[in-house]
Amino acid sequence: MSLLRVRDLRVNYGGIEALKGISFDVEKGQIVTLIGANGAGKSTTLRAISGLVPVKSGTITYDGNVIAGQQPQQIVSQGICMVPEGRRVFPNLTTYENLRIGAYLRKDDITADVEHVYQLFPRLKERSWQLAGTLSGGEQQMLAVGRALMMRPKILMMDEPSLGLAPLVIKSIFEIIQTLHDEGITILLVEQNANAALRIADYAFVLETGMLGMQGTGHKLLNDPGIKAAYLGSGA
């Protein structure tokens, strides 16, 4: 059975229907990516799964339990963590505090986890006492990822982790995603950078203005002429 199962999910913002009944599965241990144009509803999907926006109808089940309708803190506590769009680190907290707050719900010792994050992102270790608001964009993105790891997520949802980053940093972010995947974390990745996302994805879905379009393995979509034209640009 899939780890995360979304069925006929609808989300409204006021009168606007942002998601018009989408269904998809995320299999345990896979990297699944959601690609689509601006405003297609990718972030809305992740936010609905996190419990940040109310679900109008449809179901979301995680590990067999319905989570749609639960409070965000209940959902996080089950190991569904998110790296939100635009990083959203807490600028008035230090790097270290941002990591600590990522483990807010945990009662056990977190030193090993902090070390683990510092191993993945040595630059964060050097800046552990720096206010997160003063970190560079790339460092903030690393911190946002590290912060989500502090909950020891079962599913990590990442909303455009490569946005606004230099090519070299993007490369290292995707390497990290691969590392996390190797560690056994299931990943649901939303990306504008469809090319890179499809390359590492086991499975991919295309979202088109609130509805699901094509789906298939990353490899299949990468070579699909329609996808190439619409999302991968001429250079792909």
List residues near ligand ATP by CB under 6 A: 13, 16, 18, 36, 38-44, 85, 192
Nearest-approach distance from CB 171 to other proteins, in angstroms? 26
Question: Mask of contacts with Mg ion, 82-121, x by CB under 5 A?
Answer: ---x------------------------------------
> By the 8 A CB rule, do 124 and 139 touch?
yes
The CA distances from residue 70 to 50, 65, 75, 218, in Å, are 9, 11, 7, 31
By CB atoms closer than 10 A (0-12, 13-18, 19+), residue 42 is: buried
**Cβ nearer to Mg ion, comparing 35 with 60:** 35
Residue 33 as a binder of Mg ion (CB under 5 A): the answer is no
- Beta-carbon contacts of 149 under 8 Å, excluding residues fewer than 6 positions away, are 81, 102, 113, 116, 117, 120, 156, 180
Question: Mask of contacts with other proteins, 11-50, x by CB under 8 A?
Answer: ---------------------------------------x
**Cβ nearer to ligand ATP, comparing 18 with 124:** 18
Q: Map residue 99 onto helix, strand or coil.
A: helix
Q: Which of residues 136-175 bind Mg ion (CB under 5 A)?
A: none
